[in-house]
Amino acid sequence: MSEAAGYDDLYSRARREGARARDALLARHAWLQSDVHAWPVGWAALVERLCGDIAKVLVETPLPGFRVDVIREKFGGLNVQWLPWPRPPDDQSVAGRRIAELVAAAVTQSLATCEICGRPGTERWLEGLPDREAATLCDEHAALTERA
Ligand SMILES: [Zn+2]
């Protein structure tokens, strides 16, 4: 593996490709805010499925004022924030509970999905990277984070 194919470059590319996946979702779902953060492309299918499932819930049981204002990677896992408050367990609406379940399942899944390539991965704490505390990676991409 050359220097140019190191983890930092791969992660930058994964975020750029993730931004393209985000733009496609923004065009499809009005409740996705335009300032949602980017997520790495390894999770693109996972986030697309989550948004599709949320859209189905909203068709069946509309949730007035609903919007997702943050989707991002945080500490190696997917982080999703939405409005309105209150959220479960205070939110007794069917749609609110269902969306919370969908988000929780997606977060769990992100912690088992390589953020670079989408293959099975595990969450790892990173020592060699300056700006990242943790990442969920397959073995191949985890090996790239270890500096010689
Ligand atoms: Zn990978």
Q: How far is the CA of 113 from the centre of ligand 1 (A)?
A: 8
Distance 26 CA to ligand 1 centre (A): 26
Average pLDDT score, the chain: 86
Ligand 1 centroid to residue 34 C-alpha, Å: 28
Q: Taking ligand 1, which is a single-atom ion, which protein residues have CB atoms under 5 Å away?
A: 114, 116-117, 138, 141
pLDDT at residue 147 in the model: 61
Structure tokens at 115: 């953020």
29 C-alpha to ligand 1 centroid (Å): 28
| Residue bearing the bigger pLDDT, 34 or 86 | 34
Residues ≥6 apart with Cβ < 8 Å to 90: none
User: If you average pLDDT over residues 62-81, what whole number do you get?
Assistant: 90
Domain map of the chain by residue range? 3-143
The pLDDT value given to residue 33: 87
Q: Quick check: 134 pLDDT over 80?
A: yes
Q: Is the pLDDT at 148 greater than 50, yes or no?
A: no
- Give the mean model confidence (pLDDT) for residues 57-80: 90
- For the entire predicted model, the pTM comes to 0.86
Per-residue pLDDT at 77: 95
Distance 119 CA to ligand 1 centre (A): 6
Residue 83: per-residue pLDDT: 85
Residue 15 has pLDDT above 50, yes or no: yes
